[in-house]
Amino acid sequence: MNSEQLLVSDRIIVPLDVPTPMQAIALIDKLPQVTFWKVGFELFIGAGAEVLKVLKQRNKRIFLDLKLHDIPNTVVGACTSAKLYDIDFLTIHATSGRKTLEMAAEVARGSGHLKLLAVTLLTSINSRELAFDLKIPLELPEYVLQMALLAQESGISGAICSPREAGQLRKICDRDFLLVCPGVRPSWSETKDQKRVMTPGQAIAAGADYLVIGRPITQATNPLEAWERICEEVAGAM
């Protein structure tokens, strides 16, 4: 399915950033309109695969955000195990290197609908931290582009990137190379620890295929109303 065929609700991925299965189920039931949920470290370590089973029982799509980063054989083993959960997206750090990316991509190709997404650079990192703390001798947009191109050349299905880099990547990467953007915040919400942000409408206009939006929805006074406002904004941008 390409991005043009996606419904508005399919484009918005909501993180289950809670520590227990009970809290996760309560959030899923509170927002039945959400079709695509992200399970990250906190919940997966606390709940294991049980929460994935719950999501599958409710016919939800699953983004398992584990940001794999290890030697090739270890990552291949993790991808092989992840296939058993019948998930849709799984993340791997682009800095794992070409060999790891290529081997992981080969595992994903034999799994049906599992798509691997390469993490280019965490959206909590800004240009100054990239240059002075991580000592990367590239401008931030150039670094993100190089990581995305490495992933694409290695057979990975898409990249995780800030919406601020989405426009550049969309112009250069293949059209079927998915761009999944965290760091998306409506104008009426706080940015918190995200440093390279855009609004949902801006991110879609820049070329993002999927938006990962958590706290503006899950921590809103009325989560359903917040979800609907964001859907309206995305629909307008489309």
CATH code of residue 105: 3.20.20.70
Average pLDDT over residues 108-136: 90
Q: Assign 133 to helix, strand or coil.
A: helix
Q: How many other C-beta atoms can be found within 10 angstroms of the C-beta atom of residue 35?
A: 17
For 7-16, write each residue's pLDDT tens digit.
888 999 999 9
Handedness of CA 193, 197, 199, 203 (dihedral sign): negative
- State residue 150's pLDDT score: 98
Q: Which domain holds residue 198?
A: 3-237
Q: What percent of the chain has pLDDT over 90?
A: 79
Q: Please check whether residue 8 is in contact with residue 238, taking contact to mean a CB–CB distance below 8 angstroms.
A: yes
Catalytic residue, chosen from 53, 56, 60, 67, is: 67
Torsion of the alpha carbons at 155, 72, 63 and 55, rounded to the nearest 10: 130
Q: Average pLDDT over the chain, rounded to whole? A: 91
Q: Assign 221 to helix, strand or coil.
A: coil
Average pLDDT over residues 145-170: 96
Is the pLDDT score of 4 beyond 50? Answer: no
For 66-110, write each residue's pLDDT tens digit.
999 999 999 999 999 999 999 999 999 999 999 999 999 999 997
Distance of CA 22 to the CA centre of its chain: 23
- State residue 195's pLDDT score: 55
Q: Please check whether residue 88 is in contact with residue 114, taking contact to mean a CB–CB distance below 8 angstroms.
A: yes
Is the pLDDT score of 196 beyond 70? Answer: no
Q: Is position 67 annotated as part of the catalytic site? A: yes
- Compute the distance between CA of residue 85 and CA of residue 114 in angstroms, rounded to an integer: 10
Total structural domains within the chain? 1
- Compute the distance between CA of residue 75 and CA of residue 119 in angstroms, rounded to an integer: 14
Average pLDDT over residues 46-64: 94
- Compute the distance between CA of residue 163 and CA of residue 123 in angstroms, rounded to an integer: 9
Average pLDDT over residues 154-168: 95
Average pLDDT over residues 7-32: 93
- State residue 193's pLDDT score: 53
Tokens of 136: 């990367």
